[in-house]
């Protein structure tokens, strides 16, 4: 894997009870006292774009809560190529699967941009699962949703042409990271990462992006992609549905 597992520096994160991200997802099922216990044992780090938060095959240290930024969850295929299997944003929990059973990560988490991440110790999270049924249920719901999403991606890879998969990928980026419904969605993503998300060669992704640009569906300048006509992407995505 070309990325090195490296952390830049610590940052002063808010305590879990006062953190706005703690109201989202599974942590929203925790009582304020339980959040306080998690906060007392957590560590917080800043990662720059391209740095690895945790690596496939590494020993699970705990549950990673993304405080701010964008993260890709990846796996290395049998051909040695990286495949992006999921995207994460602020408030998301990553590394859940490694908490139980096998204690090594089956995936890697890599920063897509500068991001801040809190690590909740594994033993603290497992203790909370034993005492908070709602929290445990929320984690199971998250795992179920991730499995359903993974199953759908496998089907798409098997049956959808690359053009349709590229439309899917752009819509997924918009769904995951769009912050305002009143503005055209725009974000920077490398052609390598986009190709990894689509499951195709970089050259193919670049060629199809140029076609989308010519058709007025997107605007592209360098790594910055702006979606101008999401309805056309939906039409392309569902062409063979």
pLDDT in tens, 160-177: 999 999 999 999 999 999
Q: At 5, is the pLDDT very low, low, confident or very high (cuts 50, 70, 90)?
A: very low
Q: At 241, is the pLDDT very low, low, confident or very high (cuts 50, 70, 90)?
A: low
Domains of the chain plus CATH, in order, are 9-157 (2.60.120.10), 160-237 (1.10.10.10)
Sign of CA pseudo-dihedral 13, 18, 24, 28 = positive
Q: At 120, is the pLDDT very low, low, confident or very high (cuts 50, 70, 90)?
A: very high
Q: Report whether 7 contacts 51 (CB < 8 A).
A: yes
Tell me: the pLDDT tens digits for 62-85? 999 999 999 999 999 888 889 999
Q: Report whether 191 contacts 205 (CB < 8 A).
A: yes
Token code pair at residue 59: 């020993």
Q: What is the pLDDT of residue 10?
A: 55
Q: pTM (2 decimals)?
A: 0.88
Is 70 exceeded by the pLDDT of residue 8?
no
Is 80 exceeded by the pLDDT of residue 228?
yes
Q: What is the pLDDT of residue 201?
A: 95
Q: What is the pLDDT of residue 147?
A: 84
Rounded distance between C-alpha atoms, residue 67 and residue 116, angstroms: 5
SS3 165: helix
Q: Report whether 29 contacts 16 (CB < 8 A).
A: no
Is 50 exceeded by the pLDDT of residue 1?
no
């Amino acid at each position: 894997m070309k990325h090195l597992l490296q952390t830049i520096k610590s940052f002063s994160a808010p305590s879990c009870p006062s953190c706005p991200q703690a109201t989202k997802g599974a942590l929203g099922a925790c009582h304020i006292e339980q959040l306080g216990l998690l906060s007392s044992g957590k560590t917080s780090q800043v990662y720059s774009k391209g740095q690895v938060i945790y690596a496939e095959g590494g020993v699970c240290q705990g549950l990673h809560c993304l405080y701010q930024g964008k993260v890709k969850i990846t796996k290395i295929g049998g051909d040695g190529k990286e495949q992006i299997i999921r995207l994460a944003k602020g408030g998301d929990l990553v590394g859940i699967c490694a908490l139980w059973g096998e204690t090594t990560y089956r995936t890697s988490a890599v920063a897509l941009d500068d991001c801040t991440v809190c690590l909740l110790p594994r033993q603290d999270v497992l203790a909370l699962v034993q005492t908070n049924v709602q929290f445990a249920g929320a984690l199971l719901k998250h795992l179920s949703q991730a499995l359903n999403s993974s199953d759908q991606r496998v089907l798409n890879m098997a049956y959808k042409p690359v053009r349709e998969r590229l439309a899917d990928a752009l819509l997924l980026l918009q769904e995951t990271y769009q912050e305002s419904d009143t503005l055209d969605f725009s974000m920077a993503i490398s052609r390598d990462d986009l190709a990894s998300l689509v499951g195709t060669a970089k050259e193919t992704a670049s060629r199809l992006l140029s076609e989308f640009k010519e058709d007025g569906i997107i605007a592209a300048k360098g790594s910055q992609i702006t979606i101008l006509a999401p309805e056309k992407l939906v039409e392309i995505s569902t062409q063979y549905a």
